[in-house]
Structure 1
Amino acid sequence: MSGVGVLDKASVLLDIVESRPATLVQLVAHSGLSRPTTYRIAVALERLGLLTRDPQGRFVLGPRLGLLAVEARGDRLAQVCGPVLAELYERTGLDARLYRRRGRLQMCVASSVDRGDAPEAGAVGTARPATAGPAAQVLLAWEEPEELYEGLVRARFTAAHLAQVRHRGWAYGPDPVAPGTVSYAVPVRGAGGGTTAALVLSGPAARMPQVPGRALTGSGTDAAVALGDALLRTRGDLIPAGATGS
């Protein structure tokens, strides 16, 4: 604890939301703070961009935290991926994003979407628990057994699901980051062949096929290879996806 009361209380709320989205009632219950204090601090954090709300109105980590992390790390992959993501959007009409794993979180570090109507859920810098969805599965599927075990503790997918992802080389399905969308995710490989990021193509569920076709998987795989090559050429970030250090 810092010894500064309001900062310590804010830290407690951020710790709660880091694990899972939380309603105001849940923040009060888990923090032990009074409802007025919890509401006042949560709204202040929201105004600062440190918290935001998901489509269900629950508090989640805000994009400012992720942006600070990206800037602090000097993320080379985020810096070189712009043209590849833009080309993917033009070719497929689907939103293209890159996600990194940061401990228990998946963080959007780059996006083809720069429109004013872009969903807040997919904004660059937004972090969500890596417990569900295609991006989370791809980011975890190729990890070492100990990391796999830790990642599956609270996950809404199983070891069998991850075995299928490893066999196919991609994950596909509803995307909890942006409700109402379906996403295709493929790993971006770094040095040594480890998964350094997940490349995700997303679109409205009504527009997406039940099973991804050859055009979608081919476009995604080619782009992931191009990103991995670009990362190696820049001699950039070689830290595995689950690492939290600098």
Structure 2
Amino acid sequence: MEQLSGVGVLDKAAAVLSAVEAGPVSLGELVTRTGLSRATAHRLAAALEVHRLVSRDSRGRFIPGPRLAAGGAVPLPWALVDAAAPVLTELRDATGESSQLYVRHGEVRVCVAAAERTSGLRDTVPVGSTLPMTAGSGAQVLLAFTGTASADASADANADANADANADANADANGPPVDTAIPPGAVFDAADLERVRRRGWAESVGEREAGLASVSAPVRDADGRVIAALSLSGPVARLTRSPGARHGATVAAAAERLHARPAP
């Protein structure tokens, strides 16, 4: 392969990342795309997987890992990601539907962990996928609870102070201020997000893709701040047009278990 930087192993690793960014690849396809030997391609892909730059989908193909997909200066909650696998698997097995964990990264949300339904019609969201903040129950949760330690605390603060004072309080308590505005083109509004805060979960039907439904609940850190959204998704035919009534309590309980479960 062509040497670009003068550091051979770095050029080879970059070739693997470029190949993975182009779409899911089997080991054989990775060899074809990079021109590397099978042993070298596998060794580099496995090493990049350790560093979360590469991941695997349900078919064992190499895909962008959460760090590659999320990029930038915003740190991802790695301890939470490590602890998510058993909770996502339990949720999938209890409901028969695919489950995901999303974190917000600017104008998108990133899937950092997932447990897919093993057969039948399902909503497949590979780890590393980026989805918009304008649709879906995961986006609703991440927007509804941004900058708040709890729904009750947020409501009390709104009753006792004006918007500017709230912004200052949130900045002091939770670090740098984040964008809580509803993005242009969103299919939900402020009233929808208020309902999400009141009941503790969000639902969507056909928001992100026709025929798909989802339910999401907030995952909190040790200080009570929402740092992720735990989601359940699948076809409307199974989740119905009221997926929250069917699975809201289950998803919320799973999100609470993830909050309480220590990282391995």
Of 211, 218, 233, the residue aligned with 1:187 is 218
Change (3 A) 1:114 1:49: farther
1:191 alignment partner AA: A
Work out the CA distance in 2 between the residues paired with 1:185 and 1:167: 14
Is the CA contact 1:187–1:198 (under 8 Å) kept in the aligned structure 2?
yes
Query: Secondary structure of 1:191's match?
Result: coil
Work out the CA distance in 1 between the residues paired with 2:234 and 2:183: 26
Query: Secondary structure of 1:220's match?
Result: helix
Structure 2 gaps of 5+ residues are 1-16, 25-62, 148-166, 168-176
Work out the CA distance in 2 between the residues paired with 1:51 and 1:128: 17
| Structure whose CA Rg is larger | 2
Match runs of 1:46-65 below 5 Å = 48-50=19-21, 64=64
Work out the CA distance in 2 between the residues paired with 1:100 and 1:74: 9
Work out the CA distance in 2 between the residues paired with 1:77 and 1:210: 31
Query: Secondary structure of 2:223's match?
Result: helix
How far off is 1:48 after superposition? 2.9
Change (3 A) 1:89 1:225: same
2:66 alignment partner AA: G
Count matched residues: 183
Give me the identity figure in percent: 34
Query: Secondary structure of 1:123's match?
Result: coil
Q: Which moved more, 1:122-131 or 1:63-72?
A: 63-72
Task: Find out whether 1:107 has 2:95 as its counterpart.
Answer: no
Is the CA contact 1:134–1:175 (under 8 Å) kept in the aligned structure 2?
no
Change (3 A) 1:114 1:70: farther
Work out the CA distance in 1 between the residues paired with 2:95 and 2:221: 25
2:255 alignment partner AA: A
Change (3 A) 1:157 1:213: closer
Query: What is the Cα-based RMSD across aligned positions, in Å?
Result: 3.6
Task: Find out whether 1:208 has 2:211 as its counterpart.
Answer: no
1:188 alignment partner AA: V
Q: Which residue of 1 aligns with 2:68?
A: 68
How far off is 1:70 after superposition? 6.8
1:216 alignment partner AA: H
Normalising by structure 2, report the TM-score.
0.58
Change (3 A) 1:154 1:52: farther
How far off is 1:52 after superposition? 5.8
Q: Which residue of 2 aligns with 1:22?
A: none
How far off is 1:219 after superposition? 1.8
Structure 1 gaps of 5+ residues are 1-45, 54-62, 237-246
Is the CA contact 1:122–1:178 (under 8 Å) kept in the aligned structure 2?
no
Work out the CA distance in 1 between the residues paired with 2:133 and 2:121: 21
Task: Find out whether 1:87 has 2:118 as its counterpart.
Answer: no
Normalising by structure 1, report the TM-score.
0.62
